[in-house]
Amino acid sequence: MLNTFSSVRQYLKFDLSRVIIDNIVFKLHYRWTFVLLLVATLLITSRQYIGEHIQCISDSVVAPVINTFCFFTPTFTVVRHMNNSALRNGAIFQPGIGPYNRNEDEIKRHAYYQWVPFVLFGQSLCFYLPHIAWKKWEGGRIKALVYGLRMVGLTKYLKHDSMRIGKLNIPSMAETEERVINIRRTMIDRMRLNQSWGAHLVFAEVLNLINLCIQIYWTNRFLGHQFLTLGIKVLRERWVDQMDALDVVFPKVTKCTFYKYGAAGSLQNHDTLCVMALNIMNEKIFTILWFWYSFLMIMTILGLLWRLLTLFFYKKVTFTKWALYWAKPGKLDESDVKSVIEKCNFSNWVFLFFLRTNLSEFLFQKVIYHLASEFPNDAIHDNDINDYRARSAVTASPGKYPQLDRLDTVDAPLLHHRAAAGATVAPTAPESSKDSATQLV
């Protein structure tokens, strides 16, 4: 069995080095639902668990021939025999099975079982598509900044040497300081360049909801409009001694009519019974899917409500502190947070949220501290570094702000809004080269 499902193991691995670029609701779509549908597809296509998909009884037709014919040709049940009274009285032994008049009795054809593996596999791909789109729009920016910084708490023991343990790379203290510079520069330079980044995330999350609604609608059509109420009927009827919804939607015994020419050239009609072993698995798969889709719908709506809250309240300091704590617990300086979020638009705030999700408390505090130092708490001065470069020659008085070539100092932040008025800043060496992280914008 493990060999059968080995193809989906890679999606269930817990990877400490994985960079987080989405939330738990998003993962429920592209990871858990994707894996669930792949497992269901493998179960349906594996004969070792359910044997032959269909076995038909015929008096004079060779078994392999009638089995193949009835599997590829829709079988049927008789509608008037779908009643509990006849079943309890012993008039019929299976729902929908009994004598019928071809010209008068209404029949219900069953051909969906031929398409179940293709439908399940197609649905699994549909649930993965929004994730692919978001990864393309995100462009690997978060990973380029935070990859390898998960174990940064151990850097104080490494000093100038980094360490690699398996797939984990523990950076040295010097490398960590350089990465802080990268994150800070990139965040500042992106302040007006990532306007669509947050919109793409919201669109991808809405795509998850749209896709889920489409898959529920399509599954309902696929099962003859019986899927929407399937779970409720199962809970109400499954444990009573009578015909239930699963017997109607997934009949275990069906009828099949086989025609052939006799020795004299006359057309012969063979009425056969077919045992649908495949439907034993189908009924359980689609029942589980009903409950899973219901749970997923609730979680997706809650996720979009959360996104709506972030859209309206991301400028609130209290909300931001709570949101960042929820992303990863840790204390943050309220004045530093306020200085940063006042200069952020929604896309910047989302970018900051994912930075917090992937960085340790120690490192994120340092990033926030140095970001806050770049933003004067003054309406005259803009947070964008390029705009500040243009304004400084006109608005800045001599000695009020340091030279722009000194903005990369990490150990002594230069524009700290809490510094005493008139305080001087120690000179630092000019920046020798631009950091590669600015190329991510």
CA-CA-CA-CA torsion for 266, 253, 278, 211, nearest 10 degrees?
A: 100
Q: What is the DSSP string of 351-379?
A: HHHHHHHHS-HHHHHHHHHHHHHHS-S-T
Token pair of 81 as six digits: 């025999």
Q: Under DSSP, is residue 218 helix (H, G, I), strand (E, B) or coil?
A: helix
Q: Where are the alpha helices (DSSP H) in 238-332?
A: 245-249, 278-313, 317-327
Write down the residue that tokens 């080095």 correspond to.
17
Amino acid identity, position 53: H
Nearest to 251 by CA among 74, 62, 99: 74
For residue 419, the model assigns a pLDDT of 41
Q: On the CB side of 243, how many CA atoms lie within 13 Å of its CA?
A: 22
Token pair of 305 as six digits: 């409500």
Neighbours of 354 (CB within 10 A): 21
- Helical pair 346-358 and 334-341, crossing angle rounded to 10 deg: 140
For residue 414, the model assigns a pLDDT of 36
For residue 122, the model assigns a pLDDT of 95
For residue 420, the model assigns a pLDDT of 42
Reported in sequence order, the residue ranges of 219-266 that DSSP labels E, i.e. its strands, are 253-261
For residue 182, the model assigns a pLDDT of 72
Amino acid identity, position 73: T
Nearest to 22 by CA among 12, 13, 31: 31
Token pair of 52 as six digits: 């032959």
pLDDT in tens, 33-62: 999 999 999 888 876 556 677 888 877 778
For residue 405, the model assigns a pLDDT of 37
For residue 365, the model assigns a pLDDT of 82
314, 347 in Cβ contact below 8 A?
A: no
Token pair of 97 as six digits: 């099975």
Nearest to 37 by CA among 300, 296, 228: 296
Planar angle of CA 267, 93, 67, nearest 5 degrees: 40
400, 425 in Cβ contact below 8 A?
A: no
The stretches in the chain having pLDDT less than 50 are: 1-2, 154, 378-441
Q: What is the DSSP string of 13-82?
A: ---TTPPP-S-HHHHIIIIIIHHHHHHHHHHHH-HHHH--S-EEE-SSS-HHHHHHHHHHS-EEEEGGG-
Q: Under DSSP, is residue 39 helix (H, G, I), strand (E, B) or coil?
A: helix
List CB contacts of 59: < 8 A, sequence separation 6 or more: 270
189, 441 in Cβ contact below 8 A?
A: yes
**CA distance readout (Å), 167 to 2, 161, 329:** 25, 17, 25
Token pair of 197 as six digits: 């980044």
69, 258 in Cβ contact below 8 A?
A: yes
pLDDT in tens, 3-35: 555 666 666 665 556 788 899 999 999 999 999
Q: On the CB side of 388, how many CA atoms lie within 13 Å of its CA?
A: 21
List CB contacts of 33: < 8 A, sequence separation 6 or more: 124, 127, 292, 296
385, 415 in Cβ contact below 8 A?
A: no
Write down the residue that tokens 């991301």 correspond to.
314
Residue count (the chain): 441
Nearest to 120 by CA among 34, 6, 48: 34
Give the integer Cα–Cα distance in Å for 172 and 312. 40
Nearest to 371 by CA among 401, 423, 333: 333
